[in-house]
Amino acid sequence: LITTATAALLALGGTSAFASCEEGEVVIKFSHVTNTDKHPKGIAASLFQSRVNEEMNGKACVEVYPNSTLYNDDQVLEAMLNGDVQMAAPSLSKFEAFTKVFRIFDLPFMFKNIDAVDAFQASETGQAMKESMARRGLLGLGFWHNGMKQMSANKPLISPSDAQGLKFRVQPSDVLKAQMEAIGVSPQPMAFSEVYGALQTGVVDGQENTWSNIYGQKFFEVQDGITETNHGVLDYMVVVGVEWWEGLDADVRDQLTTIMDEVTTERNAAVGQVDMEARQAILDAGSTIVELTPEQRQEWVDAMLPVWEQFEGDVGEENIAAAQELNA
């Protein structure tokens, strides 16, 4: 029997790992929104799938549903609480209904690069974030990296004032909305799978995202410029439902944890390369990437930094200080 999702997956050239799920195995549906082979999250999810299916054969079986074929990010967490999907890795901007602790990652210019993000996540404060949604039924298994965000629009942006009056798609995060408002942009929250169409039809003028997302979703095809601002970070948390996770046999849980930790370490170390390959592919396709001088970039910093103050209460002054120390 070929389900609609399987057919969609096969059509997209995805794996047919479903066929390997056998009776008696714990079936782990892993839903995500990106491609499987040119994206930090897609590659990590596929590696997790192939390792579990090989090393835990007979005990557990992962079915990856990429490209929003099963759920959008705004549906997947509810589906997880209903037991319809067991794993997902939404970006940290998509957990607002569950916790506000991730807001520090959305604050513009908080982290200078992914190494600083990694170090912050490895700290006691960062590790405690994995448990921050336990009361709401979700548990974090690990942080997966993507990269730094860039700004794209239907015109080249050099100064933040160039974006004034435009409409930008944002992920559903109050910090990101405030960040856009700080530069006179009207923020439009929207699911990832809808962004290409919205840019193409002019429902929105621009968006912010990482190189791998701009490349993977072909946003560069429907934008007239991408500005290398590196103004913020896009990172993920791999989550499971607490009830489902605690209901697993301890040996299954332990083995899944070990594989997840190893995949996380291996793929997080490789994101810089995936990011740069996507950037290069965008250039090769003939798109314009605007590189800012330090003075030009400082204009974006000056325009966006006041947003920190609005969210200091949620994020904690001490955490901001700790993040800044890691940038030094």
Alpha-carbon radius of gyration of the chain: 20
Rounded to the nearest 10 degrees, the angle between the axes of helix 307-315 and helix 317-327 is 110
For the window 122-161, what string marks contact with ligand LMR as x by the rule CB under 6 A? ------------------------x---------------
Alpha-carbon gap, residue 119 to 225, rounded angstroms: 32
- Give CA–CA dist 216/200, Å, rounded: 15
> Smallest Cα–Cα separation from 88: which of 116, 60, 113, 69?
69
CB of 60 to ligand LMR, least distance (A): 24
Q: How far is CA 290 from CA 157, 260, 282, 311, in A?
A: 8, 37, 12, 30
Q: Which helix (H) or strand (E) holds 139?
A: strand 138-153
Q: Which of 82, 85, 91, 100 is nearest to 33 (CA)?
A: 91
Instruction: Give the whole-angstrom CA distance, residue 67 versus residue 134.
Output: 27
- 99, 132, 171, 223: which one contacts ligand LMR (CB under 6 A)? 171
Q: How far is the CB of 151 from ligand LMR (least distance, A)?
A: 13
Question: Which helix H or strand E contains 176, and what residues bound it?
Answer: helix 174-182
Nearest to 182 by CA among 92, 310, 320, 290: 310
Single out the residue of 36, 53, 213, 319 in contact with ligand LMR (rule: CB under 6 A): 213
List the interface residues with ligand LMR, window 31-50 (CB under 6 A): 33-34, 41
Pair type for strands 225-241 and 138-153: antiparallel
- Give me the least distance between CB of 96 and ligand LMR, in Å please: 13
Instruction: Please report, in angstroms and rounded to a whole number, the separation of the first and last CA atoms in the chain.
Output: 56
Size of the site for ligand LMR (CB under 6 A): 10
Nearer to ligand LMR, 213 or 230 (CB): 213
Q: In angstroms, what is the minimal distance from the CB of 49 to ligand LMR? A: 17
Nearest to ligand LMR of 46, 91 (CB atom): 91
Please tell me whether residue 179 binds ligand LMR under the rule CB under 6 A: no
Kindly tell me which residue out of 143, 192, 211, 311 binds ligand LMR, with binding defined by CB under 6 A: 192
Q: Which of 262, 244, 242, 216 is closest to 40 using CA atoms?
A: 216
Task: Choose, by CB under 6 A, the member of 68, 173, 209, 223 that binds ligand LMR.
Answer: 209
As measured in angstroms, the least distance from the Cβ of 302 to ligand LMR is 25
- Under the binding rule (CB under 6 A), the answer on residue 69 touching ligand LMR is no
What is the smallest separation between the CB atom of 2 and ligand LMR, expressed in angstroms?
A: 26
Residues 240-299 that bind ligand LMR (CB under 6 A): none
91 binds ligand LMR (CB under 6 A): yes
Shortest distance in whole angstroms from residue 328 CB to ligand LMR? 28
Please give the residue ranges that form the binding site for ligand LMR (CB under 6 A): 33-34, 41, 91, 146, 171, 192, 209, 213, 234
